[in-house]
Amino acid sequence: MFEKVLIANRGEIALRIHRACREMGIKTVAVHSTADADAMNVRLADETVCIGPPPARESYLNVAAILTAAAITGADAIHPGLGFLAENADFAEAVEEHGFVFIGPAPEHIRLMGDKVAAKAAAARLGLPTVPGSAGVVNDPVAAERAAAEIGYPVLIKASAGGGGRGMKIARDRAELGRMLPLAQREAAAFFGRGDVYLEHFLERPRHIEIQVLGDGQGGVVHLGERDCSMQRSHQKVVEETPSPGLNAEERDRLGALAVEAMRELGYRSAGTLEFLYQEGKFFFIEMNTRLQVEHPISEMVSGVDIVREQLRIADGASLGYRQAEIRLSGHAIECRINAENPVDFRPSPGRVTDYHAPGGLGVRVDSALYQGYVVPPYYDSLVSKLIIHGRSRNECLMRLRRALEEYVIGGIETTIPLHQRLVAARDFIDGDYDIHWLERFVGRGE
Ligand code: ADP
């Protein structure tokens, strides 16, 4: 096993990876920007290296600085976490070329799934159903109109290099497509450096259902069940749960088997997530994330599998060592993403945390790097904590969640805890009766 791992990330996810390393007796190196010198993951690491000023492109995206930090500290391997360089195939290659192990998938799989048009084509080849859409990139208005007429309106214009729910535009008819196409292309170029877009039929009432997989690249593949991430605002996940209240056992098993079969054929290595939209008994693949996900803890809570530990073992060359039949999924888990934001208008709310008290008790897990006196910097993603609850049933889970949200104190900054409190009291959420557009309506109504 590795002796020392460099964690090329920040915040709660860097801390999460540090914890897995620590339990396995692996030393950690925290790299950080000047804005994160006092971060909890930096305080707990065995060694720390400052890699640049606050802007991410000069620090957390600075490949030369990260590789230099790995070299001077004598790290064996690099874990990219999520976001930043986690899905950058060039980075994964550079890590390996410099003699370090990349804790993640093979670079060619990162590259394949990073291009959403290529990923959809690959998924179709691997036997996964996909959302009806354009055959590939459509960059001129005439080709777009032709494709949209075939797919059927409404259509969604999506960036081929997209991610993070950004830059998607709906077009309900031909005129709107004409107006939205150049807009979507400009946004895609600005966000992702590439203006290529493609079209997909826009589903009106789907659930977002994803499957967590683990592969060892040696033929071993298992899944850890699905996650329902339909609670979204601006295409970004807010609450996730497993199992999905919208699926029955047959659908669950069917999707799991499809995902495992596809990943076995691909020879996938490490943790990954296949994302689908689900509507009226049908699944449609939308994309694959070739990394750890923010919401991975709910799968850990029901399966008992430490996903980061598995990533480390697999990167070290171990085989999975267990089969699907040995994975037991038990109970129900829900995660609330707590952001440093105003809970009504969602404006970021960085600043000093003056009071901090995290909830505890049976079935309560808090993945957060916050502490009293910590200053949330304004430069990065606003996620500051994940409250993860496990219960034997969905009902028990909801009761516990309500209680834990009441206990949670984060003073000095605004957070989205009040939004989660309103959510857990909402009838539709309690009934599990919601789709990907539900939260937008709920927030819009200001209930
Ligand atoms: P990103 O990579 O930017 O996260 P995804 O393709 O994963 O983009 O889509 C993000 C979210 O956007 C989905 O979870 C879903 O809510 C919505 N979405 C994506 N494709 C469609 C579609 N064809 N119809 C309706 N909603 C969609």
- The per-residue pLDDT for 309 is 98
- The per-residue pLDDT for 446 is 57
- The per-residue pLDDT for 445 is 65
- The per-residue pLDDT for 401 is 98
One domain, residues 269 and 287: yes
The answer to whether residue 375 sits within a structural domain is yes
Q: Is the CB of 163 under 6 A from ligand 1?
A: yes
Rounded Cα–Cα distance for residues 240 and 256 (Å): 18
Q: Which has the closest alpha carbon to 110: 82, 129, 71, 68? A: 82
The answer to whether residue 390 sits within a structural domain is yes
Rounded Cα–Cα distance for residues 377 and 39 (Å): 10
Peptide bond into 243 cis (omega under 30): yes
Ligand 1 atom with the shortest distance to the CA of 436:
16
Rounded Cα–Cα distance for residues 364 and 378 (Å): 28
- The per-residue pLDDT for 163 is 84
- The per-residue pLDDT for 430 is 98
The answer to whether residue 86 sits within a structural domain is yes
Number of domains making up the chain = 3
The segments of the chain whose pLDDT lies below 50 read: none
Distance 25 CA to ligand 1 centre (A): 39
CATH number of residue 186's parent domain: 3.30.1490.20
The answer to whether residue 111 sits within a structural domain is no
pTM here?
Answer: 0.96
Distance 38 CA to ligand 1 centre (A): 36
Half-sphere exposure of residue 176: CA atoms within 13 angstroms, side-chain side: 12
Q: Is the CB of 286 under 6 A from ligand 1?
A: yes
One domain, residues 76 and 154: no
298 and 388 Cβ atoms separated by less than 8 Å: yes
CATH number of residue 423's parent domain: 3.30.470.20
Rounded Cα–Cα distance for residues 420 and 398 (Å): 11
Amino acid making up residue 109: H
One domain, residues 186 and 276: no
> What contacts 327, CB < 8 A, 6 or more positions away?
222, 223, 224, 303, 305
One domain, residues 306 and 239: yes
Rounded Cα–Cα distance for residues 43 and 436 (Å): 38
Amino acid making up residue 233: R
- The per-residue pLDDT for 51 is 98
Catalytic residue numbers read 291
The pick from 113, 168, 273 for probing ligand 1's pocket by mutation, whose C-beta has the most ligand atoms within 8 angstroms, reads 168
18 and 41 Cβ atoms separated by less than 8 Å: yes
Distance 339 CA to ligand 1 centre (A): 21
Measured in residues, the chain has a length of 447
Q: Which residue blocks in 152-226 are alpha helix, DSSP H?
A: 174-192
Distance 235 CA to ligand 1 centre (A): 6
Q: Is the CB of 103 under 6 A from ligand 1?
A: no
Q: Is the CB of 157 under 6 A from ligand 1?
A: no
The answer to whether residue 348 sits within a structural domain is yes
Produce one character per residue of 342-373: b if its CB has 16 or more CB atoms within 10 Å, e if not: bbeebebbbeebeebebbeeebbbbbbbbeee
The answer to whether residue 440 sits within a structural domain is yes
CB atoms < 10 A from the CB of 239, how many? Answer: 24
28 and 18 Cβ atoms separated by less than 8 Å: yes
- Domain end (from 156, 174, 201): 201
The answer to whether residue 116 sits within a structural domain is no
Q: Is the CB of 191 under 6 A from ligand 1?
A: no
One domain, residues 252 and 328: yes
348 and 354 Cβ atoms separated by less than 8 Å: no
Distance 116 CA to ligand 1 centre (A): 11
The answer to whether residue 423 sits within a structural domain is yes
Place of tokens 């000047």: 34
Q: What is the pLDDT of residues 108-160, one digit of tens each?
A: 999 999 999 999 999 999 999 999 999 899 989 999 999 999 999 999 999 99
Distance 205 CA to ligand 1 centre (A): 12
Rounded Cα–Cα distance for residues 125 and 169 (Å): 27
Q: Is the CB of 200 under 6 A from ligand 1?
A: yes
One domain, residues 184 and 242: no
Q: Is the CB of 279 under 6 A from ligand 1?
A: no
CATH number of residue 37's parent domain: 3.40.50.20
Ligand 1 atom with the shortest distance to the CA of 166:
3
One domain, residues 271 and 319: yes
> What contacts 18, CB < 8 A, 6 or more positions away?
7, 28, 30, 41, 44, 45
Ligand 1 atom with the shortest distance to the CA of 159:
3
171 and 149 Cβ atoms separated by less than 8 Å: no
Q: Which domain holds residue 167?
A: 132-201
